[in-house]
Each structure stands twice: as structure tokens, then as C-alpha cells.
Amino acid sequence: MQDSGRHARQHGSHSGSTLAIAMMLPLLLATTTPVNAASSLRDWKEPIILDRSGGFQIGGTIIHNPNNTNQTLSCDHGYMEYFIPWTPRQTSLVMWHSSSTQVWQNRWDGGQGYKDMFLRRGYPVYLWDGPRVGRANWSCRPITYIPQYRDQGNFAAWNFGPSFMNWWPDVQFPTKDPNAWQQATSARYDEFDTYENVLLHAHAAAVAADSGKVGDHIVYLTNSAGGLRAQLTAIRSNTTNIKGIVTYESIGYVYPAGLNITQDSFGGFGPIVVPLDEFKKLAKVKAIQFVWGDHRPRSDKYVQQSLLCAALINQYGGNAEVLMLGDDAGLIGSTHIPFADLDNDKVAKLLDGFLAKNGLGGYTGHWWDFLVSGIQ
């Protein structure tokens, strides 16, 4: 489904909304002191005003029935759900999960998740299901589902504690609410953590990025295995539409050839090795940030991989950094999915800073950029 009016709304005039804001601003300023006027704007909670929402399939292929070539199947596409604010910022936030879109929609206790947080901030938000996952599960290949009994493994993998129901004392999770745990472990799609699936996801996401349907200032927000796929997407993309990548506890990294790093061509967690010229495309992305919670030590295998990847990107003129939520930001008790944690408002403020610092937080040339710039 293509909405030809989206870019007109996003980049055109907003005379109606501008007039409404112009009429409301004197009332706002009259009822607040100069000190807290900006704070009142920043903390405003209601309503979320959307221009539109919807979704579309993208990428994929069409296969023919070998026994009847007149019969076809459209498959291996991705699915993108979108929410466009009435007055959108220029940057589109594509939220890329490695479990289900639910982790972006709510906090662990059911409170406000990243989707609504950043819609309230004026960002267009896109929820992405890659090929064969979630709402894009029409596969071109036969799939046999076998229950894997993952609940206990989820607990430790998501860093709720060192072992099942042995919570970290400071964990940012409602540990006294058994329904919260049940909601967390139930909200999963079947995953396909294979090298083939990484390539499949990156191809479909690159098609989406290059299509223009997600805008021309895309920042991927990813979690876990989604981080590797987003890195490869930036390499596979043929446009400059991808402006940023923020990975929350990315499991897997891309490296240039020639470093004596062995590629894993079977599993879905890397490393993936590409020619140097392709790797340098990551250095052309405006800003990349690899984020880790405090229960992930710097000696962790994947933290070390992120440090190396960031250093290599910067070596070739890029702008990549590793953010340790504990050491660098003073946040404690973070899980593997910190944007769903009880203190996700603090995690979101760090993202605010990252976007503003790298020129990715602006509106589309409206006069209120000057007003908003003071409350980033």
C-alpha cells in the first residue's frame, strides 16, 4: 500500500497545524514561567495526533508451482507498519525487533513503550517484521515448526537474572508481577537465526529503505540479532536514505575482509565478513551507536565485537560509538531489551541526545524548529 500523500504532508506546508500552534502558544506561555515553558512542552502527554497509520508489504519474490507454472506464490517479503504524526520530524524511526514488535509497543509493566514515546516526540514510527517473521511469515521455503521450550532460556538471554527466576536485585522489571513475566515470554515470534535469514532480512529491508516509502532520513532502532541485519542493510542499500543505526545489545557484527576474522556462514549471529569497499558504507552512515546494559561486562564477547566494529568504522572516517548504560550513563539494572525497561524514559532521553547531537532530531524546516531546539 503506497500513500502518495505522505511526503507531501511530511515535507509540505502545514498551514492548519501551524495556525493551531500559533494560537495555542500564547496561552501556553501565559500559564507558565519562562523557566518551565519548555518543560511543559516536553512533558506534554496527550494526545498523539496522527496524520495516518497503515502498513505495506515490501521486497520478496514470486515463485511458480513446478507442477503448474500458472500458479504462483508471493513470498519472502517484509511487512512495515507505520504511524505518521500530524507534524512529523524529518527522521523516520524504524523499530526492528528480534522477538516481536510488542517489545517496542509497551514497557514490561504495560506502560508507555518506545513507539508512543517517540510518536509524542513527533517522529514517524515504523514497526518492521522481516521475511518469514510475524506478519511477514509467507515463506518461499517449507518450514516445520518444532516447539523449542524457550521460556527458561528467554529469562537468562534477556538478562533478567543469571538463571531462571533468579532476578538481578536491581533489574528494571516488575519482578513481583507474574503476569508481566508471562506477557514478556509469550510475546515472541518464531525466529530463524540462520545466515540465510540474515541475508534475506537485509535484502528486504534495503529494498524498503531504497523505495522512499520510509522517508529519506531513516534511523534503525534494533535489538539483539536485529542489529546485525541492520548493519548489513546499510551495506546492501543503494541510496543514502539510511542516516543512523542504534543497536540495543546487538548480537552480531559486520567486519571488513583482511582481518583474519572467520565468517559464520551458518548461524544468524555473525560475524559476517564483507569486502572493504562494502564495509566502508557503514562509515558513510551519519551516526551509529552500539548500546549495552550494565549487566553485560565489557569483557563480553559481543561487547568486544562492538568495540572493534566501532573502531573500524571510525578508522574509515565514520561516526560510531559504544554506549555502556551503566558506566557511561549511570543506568542500573538494564535488561537485554532496555527500551522496554521500567526506566525506559531515561533510555529514551539518551536516544534524544544522540539524535540531536547528530542532526537527526529536526522537523522539516518549520519555524518551530527554533522552539523545539531548546528542549531536545
**Count of structural domains, the chain:** 1
3-state SS assignment for residue 70? strand
pTM of the model: 0.85
Q: Report the alpha-carbon distance of residue 93 to residue 341 in Å, rounded.
A: 19
Of the CA atoms within 13 Å of residue 18, those in its CB half-sphere come to 12
Q: Report the alpha-carbon distance of residue 74 to residue 367 in Å, rounded.
A: 45
Condensed to tens digits (0 to 9), the pLDDT of residues 342-370 reads: 999 999 999 999 999 999 999 976 544 44
Condensed to tens digits (0 to 9), the pLDDT of residues 81-101 reads: 999 999 999 999 999 987 788
Considering the domain boundaries, does residue 53 fall inside one?
Answer: yes
Considering the domain boundaries, does residue 1 fall inside one?
Answer: no
Residue 76 has pLDDT above 60, yes or no: yes
Cα-based angle 53, 81, 85 (whole degrees, multiple of 5): 35
Q: How far is CA 88 from CA 15, 153, 238, 311, 360, in A?
A: 14, 40, 25, 34, 12
Residue 297 has pLDDT above 70, yes or no: yes
Q: Report the alpha-carbon distance of residue 5 to residue 269 in Å, rounded.
A: 39
Grid coordinates given for 178: 507474574
- Check residues 268 and 174 and name the one with the higher pLDDT: 174
Considering the domain boundaries, does residue 252 fall inside one?
Answer: yes
Q: What phi, psi does 219 have (nearest 5°)?
A: -120, 120
Confidence (pLDDT) at 177: 96
Averaged over 154-177, what is the pLDDT?
A: 96
Average pLDDT, the chain: 88
The CATH number of whichever domain residue 46 belongs to comes to 3.40.50.1820
Confidence (pLDDT) at 132: 93
Averaged over 251-277, what is the pLDDT?
A: 94
Structural domain for 166, as ranges: 6-375
Considering the domain boundaries, does residue 273 fall inside one?
Answer: yes
Q: How far is CA 157 from CA 59, 287, 309, in A?
A: 31, 28, 22
**Spatial contact of 347 and 338, defined as CB atoms under 8 Å apart:** yes
